Chains A and B, each alone.
Chain A
């Protein structure tokens, strides 16, 4: 083996070792790296108890109630639901059926009191007319199934 092949092998070997180490570390910290917990995870008791955490999902259609500047809504991942209360200004993109991440604490009765609410949008970008067409197509396929 020439010297340069040896150096190449050392670098590649080093990188592979480093990559494996990084993968193992990230895997070990898996639960600390999630930004939010889904309602299903919360229901399964995976969320930390007794301290603040974030819950993320979709705002359930028709669940939003506003009382002065206190908003009550249900965060759902379509399997489980969490009742959230938040006093403050909601982000512009917050709306029913859209993604949301709320930070706060869970009381024993299952009520989540949020201190911060962030909107989470998806990776789809299209003009409003295209969105209208998509909604229409969804509607059509739904009525066909019935």
Chain B
């Protein structure tokens, strides 16, 4: 079988995806832990002091990867929403629900570390500039998604309501990303982007990218772990669940 002929939809069936997720998540958890340790070590002990902000800049190693992940996870949720609406696969809604708490966590981390960073450097915890405000809206979108899907009892209807929140809210993501370009903001521009060379020392950049990869692996591990619980909960009356080895013991 050539790679292009893999039937991806095979894994859209919760009964098939459940064991696959079970095999995969420990690997991602291990990779995430390892990269996290290496990343933190580089962040705190290897990366040089900044010429302007001294040691205080080191919060960037958490702040920037967390902000990236908060935006990226929302895009993934919107992608699952598109899949769910188009193909009516049950797994799309489950994956969306599994990702939302991690996305909310990263959005909160981004805001919180940003406040901790803003006070010593800018002189304020919070300002209502375009970047900070749009990231706060992203956090509310995550919380709104979680609240809305939790408020509807029928999981299929809850998924559909959640899809609408994901698809409508995804418009906010480019606004967050480009806010520092489109408007005057207190928040500085991007240090790392696809269009220009990074304006950071190489070791600093390395630390930040490794932390970003660690957050990726953590997100995948958590989503897979959580989706297994969601699958079991929703399919508890299905025969394949009753036949699972862990159910028989």
Assuming the A-B contacts A19-B171, A119-B123, are A126 and B200 also in contact, with contact meaning beta carbons closer than 8 angstroms in the complex?
Answer: yes
Q: Is A123 a contact of B190 with CB atoms below 8 Å? A: yes
Assuming the A-B contacts A34-B183, A119-B122, A124-B191, are A93 and B201 also in contact, with contact meaning beta carbons closer than 8 angstroms in the complex?
Answer: no
Decide if A121 is an interface residue (CB 8 Å cutoff). yes
Q: Which of A8, A101, A122 lies at the interface centre, i.e. has the most chain B CB atoms within 10 A of its CB?
A: A101
A26 contact set on B, CB distance < 8 A = 175, 182
Q: Is A119 a contact of B191 with CB atoms below 8 Å? A: no
Decide if A110 is an interface residue (CB 8 Å cutoff). no
Decide if A15 is an interface residue (CB 8 Å cutoff). yes
Decide if A130 is an interface residue (CB 8 Å cutoff). yes
What number of B residues sit within 8 Å (CB to CB) of A?
A: 41
Per the bound structure, the CA–CA distance linking A91 and B60 in Å amounts to 19
Per the bound structure, the CA–CA distance linking A36 and B60 in Å amounts to 24
Assuming the A-B contacts A123-B189, A125-B50, are A92 and B184 also in contact, with contact meaning beta carbons closer than 8 angstroms in the complex?
Answer: no
Decide if A38 is an interface residue (CB 8 Å cutoff). yes
Q: Is B190 a contact of A128 with CB atoms below 8 Å? A: no
What mask results when residues 113 to 146 of chain A are scored 1 for a CB within 8 Å of chain B, else 0? Answer: 0001111111111111011100000000000000
Binds A, one of B25-33, B35-43, B51-59: B51-59
Q: Is B183 a contact of A33 with CB atoms below 8 Å? A: yes
A80 to chain B, nearest CB (A): 15
A121 contact set on B, CB distance < 8 A = 52-53, 121-122, 188
Q: Is B121 a contact of A119 with CB atoms below 8 Å? A: yes
Assuming the A-B contacts A15-B170, A35-B130, A118-B122, are A127 and B86 also in contact, with contact meaning beta carbons closer than 8 angstroms in the complex?
Answer: no
Decide if A48 is an interface residue (CB 8 Å cutoff). no
B58 to chain A, nearest CB (A): 10
Q: Is A127 a contact of B52 with CB atoms below 8 Å? A: no
Q: Is B86 a contact of A8 with CB atoms below 8 Å? A: yes
B49 contact set on A, CB distance < 8 A = 127-128
Closest B residue to A14 using CB positions: B167
How many A-B pairs have beta carbons closer than 8 Å: the answer is 118
What number of A residues sit within 8 Å (CB to CB) of B?
A: 40
Decide if B199 is an interface residue (CB 8 Å cutoff). yes
Q: Is B87 a contact of A120 with CB atoms below 8 Å? A: no
Residue in A15, A117, A122 whose beta carbon sits within 8 Å of that of B123 in the complex: A117
Residue in A91, A123, A125 whose beta carbon sits within 8 Å of that of B122 in the complex: A91
Decide if A66 is an interface residue (CB 8 Å cutoff). no
Q: Is A36 a contact of B184 with CB atoms below 8 Å? A: yes
B48 contact set on A, CB distance < 8 A = 126-127
Per the bound structure, the CA–CA distance linking A146 and B123 in Å amounts to 39
Q: Is B87 a contact of A18 with CB atoms below 8 Å? A: no
Q: Is A122 a contact of B188 with CB atoms below 8 Å? A: yes
Per the bound structure, the CA–CA distance linking A144 and B87 in Å amounts to 66
A68 to chain B, nearest CB (A): 19
Q: Is A118 a contact of B170 with CB atoms below 8 Å? A: no
Can you identify 12 A-B contacts, CB atoms within 8 angstroms?
A: A4-B86, A4-B87, A7-B85, A18-B171, A26-B175, A36-B184, A93-B122, A121-B121, A124-B199, A127-B50, A128-B49, A132-B51
Residues of A that sit less than 8 Å from B by CB:
4, 7-8, 11, 14-15, 18-19, 22, 26, 30, 33-38, 56, 90-94, 101, 116-128, 130-132
Residues of B that sit less than 8 Å from A by CB:
48-53, 57, 60, 81-82, 85-88, 120-124, 127-130, 167-168, 170-171, 175, 182-186, 188-191, 199-201, 204
